[in-house]
Amino acid sequence: MPYIMPAQRMAFFFSPKAGGTSLRAFLFHVENGIPFRQFMVQGKPLDANALVSNYRFNRTDHAPLADYRRFALLRDPVKRFLSSYSNRVLHYRELSVEAAGKELLQEGLPPDPDLGTFLENYVGYLRCSRPLARHFLKQQKFIGNDPRYFEKIFKLEDLTELTTFVNAACGTKAQMPWLQTGGPKFDFFALEEDLQLQILDICRHDIAFEIFPDYWAPYADLILPDFIASPQALTGTHE
């Protein structure tokens, strides 16, 4: 579900690895007037992700949100893909023997794959871990296919705009933290060309490319014209 603020009549939709953890903490600050910090419940540490579990757009009850101001947060799909791999595969090791050994054996895939191996066997690896696969769903799975549903859609790359907008609308001075940074950083343009093309082939149907054409601009010269997805494909149901 989105992060819902009844007092402010606002609802924020977001996707995994698109700033959701930071957004949760920021909106908590807006609602409560104090910064969020990790807390303990019965000996278990809980971070900002415990505030709300975001699930698919089509599983949200939209009726109560009819008169809410609705917003969404998107990220460059290529950066989101590399962040998902870095954070979930390398940092949290969700494709390790300990986490997914049985499934990896069934698929005949090696654990802890490097980026090339992961891309070469992308679909198989996603079958090995449902939590992992969720982080690689296209962003339209979480914000829907119709941008008109939202009053405004923000970009993760410009969180200052979101912070300023919300604080002005709510009369607050909340700060946006930067959370969930575990894992190495990948420079897409430093990767080998075959890896670049495989990533673009996976990411090109993400709705963010339609809503923000400037997201696509850095990659346009890397591929053939007929590789670019049509608007119909961008808003389709590709996983």
Query: What are 165-183's pLDDT values in tens digits?
Result: 999 999 999 999 887 666 7
Q: To the nearest whole number, what is the mean pLDDT of the chain?
A: 91
Q: Give how far the C-alpha of residue 128 lies from the chain's centroid of Cα atoms, to the nearest Å.
A: 20
Query: What CA–CA distance (Å, rounded) separates 125 from 146?
Result: 30
Task: Render pLDDT for 51-108 as a digit per residue (tens, 0 to 9).
Answer: 888 889 999 999 999 999 999 999 999 999 999 999 999 999 999 999 999 999 999 9
Strand partners, 74: 155
**Phi-psi region for residue 183, left (φ > 0), alpha (ψ -120 to 50) or beta?**
left
Q: Specify whether the CB–CB gap between 231 and 206 falls below 8 A.
A: no
Quote the pTM value.
Answer: 0.89
What are the DSSP calls for 25-51, one per residue?
HHHHHHHHSS----EEETTEEE-GGGG
Q: Which residue has the higher pLDDT, 235 or 23?
A: 23
Residues 6+ apart with CB under 8 A from 7: 31
- Please tell me the distance from the alpha carbon of residue 220 to that of residue 222, in angstroms, as a whole number: 6
Report how far residue 111's alpha carbon sits from residue 91's, in angstroms, rounded to the nearest whole number: 13
Phi, psi of 76 (to 5 degrees): -50, 120
Q: Can you read off the two tokens belonging to residue 229?
A: 């997805």
CA-CA distance, 104 to 159, in Å (whole number)? 38
Distance CA(179)–CA(24), nearest Å, equals: 10
- Give 56-65 pLDDT, tens digit per residue: 999 999 999 9
